[in-house]
Amino acid sequence: MLGAYTGKILRVNLTTRKINMERLDEEKARKFIGGKGLGAKILYDSLKPGVNPLSPENILIFASGPLTATLAPTSARWAVVTKSPLTNIFLDCQVGGYFGAAMKLAGFDCIIVEGKADKPVYLWVHDKNCEILDADFLWGKGCFETEEILKKRLGLNVRVASIGPAGENLVRYACISVDKYRQAGRGGAGAVMGSKNLKAVAVQSSGHKIRYADPEGFRKAANEALRVIKENSFIPLRRKYGTPIWVSPVNKAALLPTKNFRTGVFEKADEISGETMRKKIVFKDGTCYNCIIQCWKYTHVKSGKYKFDELAGPEYESIALLGSNCGVGSIEAVAYANMLCDNLGLDTISTGNTIAFAMECFEKGLLTLKDTDGINLKFGNAEAEFEMIKKIANREGIGNLLGEGVRRASKKIGKGSEKFAMHVKGLEIPGYDPRGAFGMALAYATSDRGACHQRAWTVRAEISGELAPRFSTKGRAKFVKETQDERAMCFSLVLCDFAPLKIEHFVKLLNTATGFNFTVEDYLKTGERIWNLTRLFNVREGITREDDTLPPRFMEEPLPEGVTKGQVVTKEMLNQMLDEYYTLRGWDENGIPTKEKLKELELI
Ligand code: SF4
Antiparallel, parallel or unpaired: β 121-126 and 198-203: parallel
Residue 246 CA, chain-centre distance (Å), reads 18
Task: Tell me if 146 CB under 6 Å of ligand 1.
Answer: no
Antiparallel, parallel or unpaired: β 296-301 and 282-286: antiparallel
Average pLDDT for 215-237: 97
pLDDT at 205: 93
Q: Tell me, what amino acid is at 416?
A: G
Q: Where exactly are the structural domains of the chain?
A: 8-203, 233-428, 438-499+519-600
CA of residue 444 to ligand 1 center, whole Å: 23
CA distances, 474 to each of 335, 466, 470, 548 (Å): 38, 12, 9, 19
Q: CA torsion, points 579, 583, 588, 593, in degrees to nearest 10?
A: -130
Reference 83, options 196, 197, 201, 187; nearest CA is: 187
Average pLDDT for 105-124: 98
- DSSP state for residue 258 in the 8-state scheme: B
- Ligand 1 atom showing the smallest separation from residue 96 Cα: 8
User: Which residues are CB-contacts of 274 (< 8 A; sequence separation ≥ 6)?
Assistant: 241, 242, 243, 244, 245, 246, 247, 248, 316
pLDDT by residue (tens digit) across 118-167? Answer: 999 999 999 899 999 999 999 999 999 999 999 999 999 999 999 999 99
* pLDDT above 70 coverage of the chain, percent: 100
Task: Tell me if 82 CB under 6 Å of ligand 1.
Answer: no
Report whether pLDDT(580) > 90.
yes
Report whether pLDDT(1) > 90.
no
pLDDT by residue (tens digit) across 517-535? Answer: 999 999 999 999 999 999 9
pLDDT by residue (tens digit) across 307-363? Answer: 999 999 999 999 999 999 999 999 999 999 999 999 999 999 999 999 999 999 999
The DSSP result for 482-495, as a single string, is HHHHHHHHHHHHT-
Band of pLDDT at residue 468, cut at 50, 70 and 90: confident
Backbone angles phi, psi at 480, to 5 degrees: -65, -45
Judge whether 338 and 366 are in contact, CB under 8 Å.
no
- Ligand 1 atom showing the smallest separation from residue 499 Cα: 1
Pocket mutation for ligand 1, best pick of 93, 241, 289, 498 (most atoms within 8 Å of C-beta): 498
pLDDT by residue (tens digit) across 46-101? Answer: 999 999 999 999 999 999 999 999 999 999 999 999 999 999 999 999 999 999 99
**CATH T-level topology, domain 8-203:** Aldehyde Ferredoxin Oxidoreductase;  A, domain 1 (3.60.9)
Residue identifier of the C-alpha nearest atom 8 of ligand 1: 288
Task: Tell me if 24 CB under 6 Å of ligand 1.
Answer: no
pLDDT at 582: 98
- DSSP state for residue 448 in the 8-state scheme: B
CA of residue 160 to ligand 1 center, whole Å: 18
How far is 357 from 352, CA to CA, in rounded Å? 9
Reference 162, options 145, 143, 149, 148; nearest CA is: 143
pLDDT by residue (tens digit) across 258-274? Answer: 999 999 999 999 999 99
The DSSP result for 165-202, as a single string, is HHHHTT-TTBPEEETTTEEE-GGGHHHHHHHTTEEEEE
pLDDT at 201: 98
Max CA pair span of the chain: 68
Please state, rounded to an integer, the average pLDDT across all residues of the chain.
97
The DSSP result for 294-352, as a single string, is --EEEEEE-SSTT-EEEEE---HHHIIIIIGGGT---HHHHHHHHHHHHHHTB-HHHHH
Sign of the CA dihedral with 427 first, then 428, 431, and 436 last: positive
Report whether pLDDT(186) > 90.
yes
Pocket mutation for ligand 1, best pick of 315, 317, 496 (most atoms within 8 Å of C-beta): 496
Reference 316, options 371, 277, 364; nearest CA is: 277
How far is 349 from 150, CA to CA, in rounded Å? 28
pLDDT by residue (tens digit) across 356-389? Answer: 999 999 999 999 999 999 999 999 999 999 999 9
Reference 392, options 449, 450, 365, 353; nearest CA is: 353
- 233-428: CATH architecture: Orthogonal Bundle (1.10)
User: Which residues are CB-contacts of 368 (< 8 A; sequence separation ≥ 6)?
Assistant: 362
CATH class in words for 438-499+519-600:
mainly alpha
Residue 569's SS3 state is coil
CA distances, 166 to each of 91, 195, 273, 319, 571 (Å): 18, 11, 28, 20, 36
Residue identifier of the C-alpha nearest atom 5 of ligand 1: 74
- DSSP state for residue 132 in the 8-state scheme: E
Environment class of 148 (CB within 10 Å of its CB; exposed 0-12, middle 13-18, buried 19+)? middle
Other beta carbons less than 10 A from residue 585's beta carbon: 21
- Ligand 1 atom showing the smallest separation from residue 295 Cα: 2
CA distances, 570 to each of 68, 127, 553, 577 (Å): 42, 57, 10, 11
pLDDT at 587: 98
CA of residue 498 to ligand 1 center, whole Å: 7
The DSSP result for 62-116, as a single string, is EE--TTTTSSSTTTT-EEEEEE-TTTSSEEEEEE-SSHHHHHHHTT-SEEEEES-
Report whether pLDDT(417) > 90.
yes
How far is 450 from 356, CA to CA, in rounded Å? 19
3-state secondary structure 365-377: CCCCCCCCCCCCC
> What size, in residues, is the chain?
604
Other beta carbons less than 10 A from residue 136's beta carbon: 10
Task: Tell me if 490 CB under 6 Å of ligand 1.
Answer: no
User: Which residues are CB-contacts of 127 (< 8 A; sequence separation ≥ 6)?
Assistant: 204, 206
How far is 402 from 86, CA to CA, in rounded Å? 12
